[in-house]
A and B are shown apart, each in its own frame.
Chain A
Amino acid sequence: MSIRQILFVGMVAAMMPTPGLAHGNASPSHGGIMAVSGETQIETVRTSAGLDIYVSEEGLPLQATGLAGHAMIKDGTGVPVTLQPVEGNRLQAPGFVPGPGQAVVVMVEQKANGLRSFATYQF
């Protein structure tokens, strides 16, 4: 591809309408369910060990060690389970396995600024 072709492709890409989502990519990367709260993307994956939660902001992963939060059943039954950092941008709600049809709320707090993001999932 010549320089001229590369420039042309770049210009076309820049002129294309942006995707409908406001901030970042809302497609799940780990086979889970993606939710977007403002600029924060929270992907939740149900596993046999609990919920795995991946947090990104405008497509960039946030370090799990800088995050806190909990997962709870939306109707308030049960006890909220504190999220534990695992690695990278992955946190886990150990032992929290919602049943079919249950709605779950995940709260993620960024420790640096106290920003809390909420995401609701229907399993």
Chain B
Amino acid sequence: MKFSSRLFATSLTAAGAFASLAIAMDAQAHGIWFAQRARQLALIYGIGADDLDMVRRLPLLNTVTGYDADWKPVPIRLRTAGAIPVVDSDAPYAATAATMDYGIWSIQPGQDWVNKGRDENPTATRAEHTYKYTVHLEKPLNKEMPLLEGHRLQIVPVSKTIPQESGKPFAVKVYFEGKPFAGAEILTDFVNDPDMPPLKTGPDGIATFRLRNQGLNVIAATIIGKTDQPKKYDYIEYRATLSFVLPHAEE
């Protein structure tokens, strides 16, 4: 699977004015993120310690892109290596990203989610359309992260330099459709503490917190948007993650 890479530059002006719905976000709570597996960079689908079947879900990906330290495109592709997809590249990369349209899902009480809309599952208590986005920082960057094409929701570090020690304050700005978004729910440790009470971004789209792990950090942002097809689903869930590693001490 190979995808084209293009950077998307946009000017950011007004604060986010997107109508969010007061829906408890316990539905399709999964996300995607990049993490090291057996020395290779893998794309993970899951939540918390659940590392689920990403290979089966590869067809749902819209884009997989790589970048150098200046955020210039570096062609990358995913290769299925047994149970996991890993990143392949002919050149070094400093960051990777992916977008996924996870489709329409609905649920009835006492049953599992099914890949059907309300039109096919009329007695469903909830029906949703979910999109998932991720950006991974593999190496130090020379420039601040731009907004990436296809990432309708994106977590952007406020500074290009990420603190290298856990416990240090870290600020991110959440953008939706190119504009800072107020009220996005932030999980500061999506892998190790997915049930934590979420933080919320301020009016400027910024949330500041202390980095949790001297290792893999996966930060998640979620917003709920209005449906654009009310006969099929009640709302749209957008979930973005940002992942990076703080190095361990020398052995």
Contacts and interface: CB of A to CB of B under 8 A. Distances in A.
Interface residues of B, number: 13
B214 to A, nearest CB: 15
Contact of B89 (A72, A80, A116): A116
A121 interface: no
A113 B81 contact: yes
Interface stretch (A18-26, A44-52, A83-91): A18-26
A5 to B, nearest CB: 28
Interface in A26-82: 38-39, 70, 72, 76, 80
Contact of A22 (B88, B89, B251): B251
Interface string A82-121: 0000000000000000000000010100000111101010
B56 interface: no
B250 A38 contact: no
Interface of A: 18, 20-23, 38-39, 70, 72, 76, 80, 105, 107, 113-116, 118, 120
A114 B88 contact: yes
Contacts of A76: 91
Given A39-B39, A115-B40, A70 B251 contact: no
A18 B86 contact: no
Contacts, number: 33
B92 A22 contact: no
Contacts of A80: 90
A20 B250 contact: yes
Contact of B92 (A23, A39, A70, A118): A118
Given A18-B251, A20-B250, A22-B250, A70 B90 contact: yes
A39 B251 CA distance: 12
B79 interface: yes
Contacts of B250: 20-22
B91 A114 contact: no
B79 to A, nearest CB: 6
Given A21-B251, A72-B91, 19 more contacts: A20-B250, A21-B250, A22-B251, A23-B251, A39-B39, A76-B91, A105-B91, A107-B91, A113-B38, A114-B79, A114-B86, A114-B88, A115-B38, A115-B39, A116-B40, A116-B89, A118-B91, A118-B92, A120-B92
